[in-house]
């Protein structure tokens, strides 16, 4: 770790500054909110392919470091005492596959740090000693699984971990991870190596989101037990991946000085995964209420209009929204159903959505507008729909709400809290829309129909959500809270680091 430390090092996995969306927008706003602070961004990405910035980095971002999770640096083709290294590293790697935590991460750091930058994937992944260790791990963990599937699955996991362990460490006064997973693993390493504080903000619970992805990853479980038996008989590759990411989360929770999340429901998951309740604190998302509340309603003679605001990706379940629009058009023939969000992240899914539009004869109803300036559109929208299968605290509900646009959303994350109000809301404000079950076009269409065809109800919901955003989710207050957090931790004195002194 070299150079003058920045105030805050942000640890981002698969998001800012290359991917548009809620977490990235939140991060960009955080950086811009504190021009007096300096930032360094660590972007953990899959591979070394060329990427286009989705955000122009503000001038107080002093550095951008990439960690390529699928492609660790090659390093030298050999290292001294390689066989001894693998014998010593085998035990902590085994524990990290079965519910380990910070102690095992610390041991991996101790073993690898003295060998940087010489060691890399040629020794750690491609050498004969590495292969022998994989065979031993296979025999101890999943001897009944296909060795070929185990080999490639473990190689992917180890490649990600070694990339994090070997990456350059930016000098910073505080390290701020915006998820657990590999970003959280980097935060744990930073705390161990530098003695500087680490903090975590979880928008969604990383292990839950990875669970969804892993369960859908057919390539990972080819040949696994697909029977309908109630009790699973044997541990499989799915467990290997899930347990490993649970270990990374536990290591991050233990390493961090404080753990923030957006709403109370997340804290229950964090406690179950081993987070110290004394470290937990809620800081909700905030939006520019003053700006969005100035959006002028378009009262011209225009078609009733709904919108889904977000990336066109499977987790947003855009297909349910399209089917709901098809049902809704039966009662409202001139309906316009906008899709306002980037289309480039998953072209195959976008094409599947367009196919459904054509199949349902909705070309004149459903409009893929792509990325837009939201304030130019909200005045023309009567209600928004959020059909996601997973969310944390969606900014679009708050942004639309500040503009007086009610929402129909699935019962995920904090959506019910945002739309219907928290249990401690005093005085109660009332509903700002409606909550529906997952993957239910019929329920989504029914609630949207109520808002579109009953202007009195729509106005009540619009007023309620606007007042709730003003009272609880104004970004000015949220910025004040995080400014205090950064000031507290960046001014803390150095603490003992893993190697006896701050690096």
- 120, two tokens: 């890399």
pLDDT at res. 211: 78
- 480, two tokens: 């004040």
pLDDT at res. 503: 37
Share of the chain above pLDDT 90, in %: 85
Q: For residues 40-64, give the mean pLDDT.
A: 96
Q: Using the 8-state DSSP alphabet, how is residue 161 labeled?
A: H
The confidence band for 219, taking pLDDT boundaries of 50, 70 and 90, is low
Question: What is the side-by-side strand order in the sheet with 366-370?
Answer: 366-370, 336-340, 305-309, 383-386, 407-410, 433-436
Q: For residues 181-196, give the mean pLDDT.
A: 97
Q: Is the pLDDT of residue 21 over 80?
A: no
pLDDT at res. 228: 46
For 329, phi and psi rounded to 5 degrees? -65, -20
pLDDT at res. 371: 93
> How far apart are the C-alpha atoms of 199 and 482, rounded to whole Å?
11
149-185 residue pLDDT tens: 999 999 999 999 999 999 999 999 999 999 999 999 9
Q: Is the pLDDT of residue 268 over 60?
A: yes
The confidence band for 190, taking pLDDT boundaries of 50, 70 and 90, is very high
The confidence band for 226, taking pLDDT boundaries of 50, 70 and 90, is very low
Q: Is the pLDDT of residue 43 over 80?
A: yes
Q: For residues 327-338, give the mean pLDDT.
A: 98
Contact between 465 and 407 under an 8 Å Cβ cutoff? The reply is yes
67-112 residue pLDDT tens: 999 999 999 999 889 999 999 999 999 999 998 999 999 999 999 9
- 142, two tokens: 């999943």
Range(s) for CATH 3.40.50.2000 in the chain? 6-66+172-286+481-490, 289-473
382-396 residue pLDDT tens: 999 999 998 888 989
pLDDT at res. 499: 66
> How far apart are the C-alpha atoms of 133 and 151, rounded to whole Å?
11
Q: For residues 208-218, give the mean pLDDT.
A: 71
Identify the CA nearest to 475 among candidates 341, 309, 264, 292.
Answer: 292
The confidence band for 148, taking pLDDT boundaries of 50, 70 and 90, is very high
The confidence band for 227, taking pLDDT boundaries of 50, 70 and 90, is very low
Say which residues have a Cβ less than 8 Å from residue 440's Cβ, sequence separation at least 6: 320
Q: For residues 34-61, give the mean pLDDT.
A: 97
- Assigned CATH topology for domain 289-473: Rossmann fold (3.40.50)
> How far apart are the C-alpha atoms of 402 and 396, rounded to whole Å?
10
422-468 residue pLDDT tens: 888 999 999 999 999 999 999 999 999 999 999 999 999 999 999 99
Q: Is the pLDDT of residue 230 over 90?
A: no
For 259, phi and psi rounded to 5 degrees? -125, 115
Half-sphere exposure of 211 (CA within 13 A, CB side): 10
363-382 residue pLDDT tens: 999 999 999 999 999 999 99
The confidence band for 216, taking pLDDT boundaries of 50, 70 and 90, is low
Q: For residues 299-322, give the mean pLDDT.
A: 96
> How far apart are the C-alpha atoms of 311 and 237, rounded to whole Å?
30
- Tell me if the pTM is above 0.95: no
**Chain centre to alpha carbon of residue 21:** 10
> How far apart are the C-alpha atoms of 378 and 214, rounded to whole Å?
36
Give me the sign of the Cα torsion angle 445, 460, 373, 305.
positive
pLDDT at res. 205: 86
Domain spanning 6-66+172-286+481-490: CATH superfamily: Glycogen Phosphorylase B; (3.40.50.2000)
Cis? peptide before 217, omega within 30° of 0: no
Share of the chain above pLDDT 70, in %: 95
394-428 residue pLDDT tens: 989 999 999 999 999 999 989 999 999 988 899 99
Average pLDDT, the chain: 93
């Amino acid at each position: 770790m070299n150079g003058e430390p920045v105030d805050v090092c942000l640890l981002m996995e698969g998001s800012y500054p290359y991917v548009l969306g809620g977490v990235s927008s939140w991060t960009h706003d955080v950086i811009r909110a504190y021009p007096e602070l300096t930032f360094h961004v660590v972007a953990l990405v899959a591979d070394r392919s060329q990427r286009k910035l989705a955000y122009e980095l503000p001038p107080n971002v002093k550095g951008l470091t990439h960690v390529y999770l699928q492609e660790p640096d090659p390093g030298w083709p050999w290292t001294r005492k390689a066989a001894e290294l693998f014998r010593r590293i085998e035990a902590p790697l085994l524990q990290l596959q079965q519910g380990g935590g910070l102690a095992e991460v610390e041991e991996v750091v101790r073993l690898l740090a003295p060998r940087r930058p010489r060691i890399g994937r040629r020794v750690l992944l491609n050498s004969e000693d590495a292969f022998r260790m994989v065979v031993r791990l296979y025999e101890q963990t999943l001897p009944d699984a296909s060795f070929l599937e185990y080999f490639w699955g473990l190689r992917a996991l180890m490649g990600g971990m070694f990339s994090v362990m070997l990456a350059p460490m930016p000098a910073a006064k505080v390290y701020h991870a915006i998820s657990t997973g590999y970003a959280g693993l980097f935060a744990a390493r930073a705390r161990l190596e530098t003695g500087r504080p680490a903090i975590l903000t979880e928008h969604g619970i990383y292990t839950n989101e990875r669970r969804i992805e892993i369960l859908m990853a057919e390539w990972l479980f080819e040949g696994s037990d697909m029977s309908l038996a109630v009790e699973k008989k044997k541990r499989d590759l799915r467990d290997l991946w899930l347990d490993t990411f649970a270990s990374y989360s536990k290591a991050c929770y233990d390493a961090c000085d404080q753990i923030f999340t957006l709403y109370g429901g997340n804290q229950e998951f964090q406690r179950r995964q081993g987070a110290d309740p004394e470290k937990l604190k809620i800081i909700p998302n905030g939006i520019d209420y003053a700006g969005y509340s100035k959006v002028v309603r378009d009262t011209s003679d225009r078609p009733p209009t709904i919108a889904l605001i977000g990336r066109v990706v499977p987790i947003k379940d855009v297909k349910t929204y399209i089917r709901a629009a098809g049902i809704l058009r039966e009662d409202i023939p001139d309906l316009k159903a906008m899709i306002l969000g980037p289309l480039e992240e998953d072209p195959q899914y976008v094409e599947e959505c367009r196919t459904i539009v054509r199949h349902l004869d909705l070309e004149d109803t459903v409009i893929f507008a792509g990325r837009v300036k939201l304030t130019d559109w909200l005045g023309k929208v009567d209600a928004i729909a959020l059909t996601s299968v997973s969310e944390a605290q969606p900014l679009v509900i708050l942004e639309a709400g500040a503009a007086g646009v009610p929402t129909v959303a699935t019962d995920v994350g904090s959506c019910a809290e945002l739309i219907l109000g928290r249990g401690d809301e005093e005085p109660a404000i009332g509903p700002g829309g409606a909550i529906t079950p997952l993957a239910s076009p019929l329920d989504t269409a029914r609630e949207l129909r109520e808002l579109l065809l009953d202007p009195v109800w729509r106005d009540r919901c619009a007023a309620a959500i606007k007042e709730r955003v003003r009272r609880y989710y104004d970004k000015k207050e949220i910025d004040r809270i995080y400014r205090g957090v950064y000031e507290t931790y960046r001014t803390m004195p150095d603490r003992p680091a893993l190697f006896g002194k701050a690096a």
